[in-house]
Amino acid sequence: MGDRLLYVALVLSVLGLGLLIIVSGFLEPAYVKVGDVDSGMLENSVRLKGVVAGVHAFKGGSLLLSVADGNSSVDVYLPYSVSSGLDKASVNGSAIDVVGVVELYNGKLEVVADKPENVRLR
């Protein structure tokens, strides 16, 4: 009886972990206001919603977007692998929904979006 119970517990644990791995791929972090992004969020994923108030294109094709909501703004870095799928002419002034990791670059906070599906222009 004890061995059978141990086997059932093991199978249920493995199935539960597998389900968590599958579901975690569909979960996104909660929205954070642009003005609330701070150094306490370093290395954490955030989801922002705002308007692209400025665009800087780098020679390699990556983009640095200034995303604003009201009076606050934060830089969002899109590497070439992400920015290559965007119509760069229509990015500025567009509403954006982005998921990325808060990082520190040259002493300034920025959000880095590393997957194309994490950037949605509306």
Q: What is the pLDDT of residues 58-87, one digit of tens each?
A: 999 999 999 999 889 999 999 999 998 887
Give the confidence band of 23 by pLDDT, cuts at 50, 70, 90.
confident
Closest to 102 in 3D by CA, of 74, 79, 83, 82: 74
Which distant-in-sequence residues (6+ apart) come within 8 Å of 67 by Cβ? 34, 48, 50, 51, 52, 53, 73, 74, 75, 76, 96, 98, 111
Exposed (0-12), middle (13-18) or buried (19+): which is 63, by Cβ within 10 Å? buried
Residue 25: its pLDDT value, please?
67
CATH H-level, domain 34-121: superfamily: Nucleic acid-binding proteins (2.40.50.140)
pLDDT by residue (tens digit) across 26-36?
777 888 999 99
